[in-house]
Amino acid sequence: MRFTKKFTAFQRILGTIIGQLRKYIALILIAVVILLVSGGVYMILNPEEAIRGAFGIIEMRGRQSITEGLIVAFSYVLFLVGLLVIYRGASLGYNPRIAITYVLLGVVLLIISFLLFYILILIKI
């Protein structure tokens, strides 16, 4: 009898934890993908590369510093937020003024993201 009460309490706690994870699983997956795509594994496995280069940027294409990884990750986040803002603006068809504002803000975020990538590529080459 005591065992079943403890087991049901454990099930309730486990159900609560799983319910909370379901809410944030998309954000967790996006964060992991951005970490992997921006070279997070390379930065963790090669920490000595972080000190080299001017402004923390190594001027070689085969190497990456922590600063470069953070710039790339920030650019990916800006790009993703820009796309989400454009999507939100496109779904606000009932209010054209706010929709146009959202779409323009999303386009500005996309342009800033591409400019960050372009500047980083110019420095590295």
pLDDT at 108: 93
Closest by CA position to 45, among listed 33, 36, 34, 32: 36
Rg (C-alpha) for the chain, rounded Å, is 22
Dist. CA 39–CA 61, nearest whole Å: 13
Digit-coded pLDDT (tens) for 69-78: 788 888 988 9
Q: Which residues of the chain have pLDDT under 50?
A: 1
pLDDT at 24: 79
pLDDT at 62: 67
pLDDT at 51: 57
pLDDT at 2: 56
DSSP 50: G
pLDDT at 45: 77
